[in-house]
Amino acid sequence: MIQTTTRLRVADNSGVRELYCIRVMGRGRSTVASLGDEIICSTKAVTPQSPI
């Protein structure tokens, strides 16, 4: 389960290392997301010399 203000480690090769969950979409007033839910995130850490 992902709550707002949660920091997430990214598991792909985009160059982003860490994300910060800002908002959970489509759950009404709920602040908890589960598998398949959409969230809005901000990038907090990237790898050096990444194209992002």
pLDDT score of 31: 84
Q: Is the pTM of this model over 0.85?
A: no
Q: Closest Cα partner for 3 from 44, 33, 35? A: 33
Q: Closest Cα partner for 51 from 5, 14, 17? A: 14
Say if residues 43 and 16 touch (Cβ distance below 8 Å): yes
The tens digit of pLDDT for each residue in 24-43 reads 998 788 889 999 999 999 99
Res. 52: pLDDT tops 90: no
pLDDT score of 42: 96
| Structural domains of the chain ordered from first start | 2-46 (2.40.150.20)
pLDDT-derived band at 51, boundaries 50, 70, 90: confident
Q: Which residue shows structure tokens 């709920």?
A: 30
